[in-house]
Amino acid sequence: MDKSSLLSFGRQVYGWFVALGTCLVQPVLLLLFRLQWGWQFYLSGKGKLLNHATTTEFFTGLGIPMPELNAWFVGGVECVGGLLLLVGLCSRPVGAILSVNMIVAYLSVDSDREKFFAIFSDPSGFIGADPFFFLVLALLMLAFGAGAISLDALLQRTAFRK
């Protein structure tokens, strides 16, 4: 095999990996992340809504302005956002809203705020903080959308048929 043929073969094999990842791995992986962390967002929001007094007290202790209103708001955003992620509907706007929500969560707790600002000097602290995986999922949804196995994808396919 000459150099040109080897290069061509390499490109072809690489193309197969890209196609396999795009068509099979990516949709399944996004679905699994959405199901796991969408459910976690839902449970977290539901907990805030059902235990509103405790959440308000916690927010008051953190110095969050209008703690009662913010407890309802954050609980609702996480609960509804989690449900929307489960079915893969409005995933990019939900990802943006939940990303902001998780960044605020990092910045509201003193120990997590330090971890947030030490992301490059001490990444293990940032990764170990409670909001980390929630933030990662929200950013994944913002960047990539819900994937091919979602209501977003179904609505998009339906819209292009007309």
Tell me how far apart the alpha carbons of residues 46 and 10 are, in angstroms, rounded to a whole number. Answer: 51
Domain limits, the chain: 3-161
Residues 6+ apart with CB under 8 A from 152: 88, 89, 90, 91, 145, 146
What pLDDT score was predicted for residue 87? 97
Angle between helices 26-50 and 52-61 (to 10 degrees): 90
pTM listed for this prediction? 0.86
Query: What does the pLDDT read at residue 162?
Result: 60
pLDDT of 135:
96
The residues, ordered by sequence, that sit 6+ positions from 101 with a Cβ below 8 Å of its Cβ are: 74, 77, 78, 81, 138
pLDDT at position 110 is 86
Summarize pLDDT for 48-86 with one digit per residue, the tens. Answer: 999 999 999 999 999 999 999 999 999 999 999 999 999
Q: Give the separation between CA 96 and CA 92, rounded to whole angstroms.
A: 6
Single-letter residue type at 122: D
Helix (H) or strand (E) holding 51: none
| Spatial separation of the C-alpha atoms in residues 36 and 48, rounded to whole Å | 19
pLDDT in tens, the chain (162 residues): 788 888 888 888 888 888 887 778 889 999 999 999 999 999 999 999 999 999 999 999 999 999 999 999 999 999 999 999 999 999 999 999 999 999 999 999 888 899 999 999 999 999 999 999 999 999 999 999 999 999 999 998 888 776
